[in-house]
Amino acid sequence: MPRADPPIQVFQTEMPATDRRPALGKQLKRSFFARSVHEIAPELIGATLLVDGVGGTIVEVEAYHQTEPAAHSYRGVTPRTQVMFGPPGYLYVYRSYGIHWCMNFVCEAEGSAAAVLIRAVEPMRGLAAMRRRRGLHDERALCSGPGKVCAALAVTIKHNGCALDSSPIAIHARTQVPEIASGVRIGITKAAELPWRYGVKGSRFLSKPFPKD
């Protein structure tokens, strides 16, 4: 799995935007994640991720599976990857660059060790808290990378192994299907040709734009 983007300083003079609170879909249960990671990853685009009520719309993800060398689980069970080999519907959190936390949703049957990395979120709820945690105002930069998502939502190693359908985490199904782009994953050298990255086409909240068709 890739390292998170290095921190970026952003200086803004614009006034902070207020929360946007569109209607939420039904809350997803752990059973939702007991399927192929390749089905789940694109279905998470447009879903809402909240941690203690703070978060927004998932706009970019990547799928990982133990059968390919970019996955942390490729070399088998370790203390770090143990949660990936457990039942689906739990959070896998790892450290990147020795600084950033990154969050993943464990998928598939126990022992399969597949997960979806949350790469970017469009901030919707708790903007003031996210700005305070990230030390910047520009909402486009708050969650535009996996490390930024965790920083904005205050996710750390203490959340590793948390159930995805229990407090403080809530994931709500999308209420409409956005136009989804796909392409190769970012920041990896192994299995870099696999087109397992998904996102909202044209979103300004992505960590990196998708190549144009």
Q: Give the chain's end-to-end CA distance (angstroms, integer).
A: 26
pLDDT tens sequence across 82-137: 999 999 999 999 998 788 999 999 999 999 999 999 999 999 999 999 999 999 99
User: What single-letter DSSP state applies at residue 24?
Assistant: P
Write down the pLDDT at residue 11. 36
pLDDT tens sequence across 147-162: 999 999 999 999 999 9
Instruction: Say what the pTM is.
Output: 0.90
Write down the pLDDT at residue 16. 45
Torsion of the alpha carbons at 99, 46, 61 and 49, rounded to the nearest 10: 30
On whether the CB atoms of residues 175 and 112 are closer than 8 A, the answer is no
Write down the pLDDT at residue 111. 95
The proportion of the chain whose per-residue pLDDT surpasses 90, expressed as a percent, equals 86
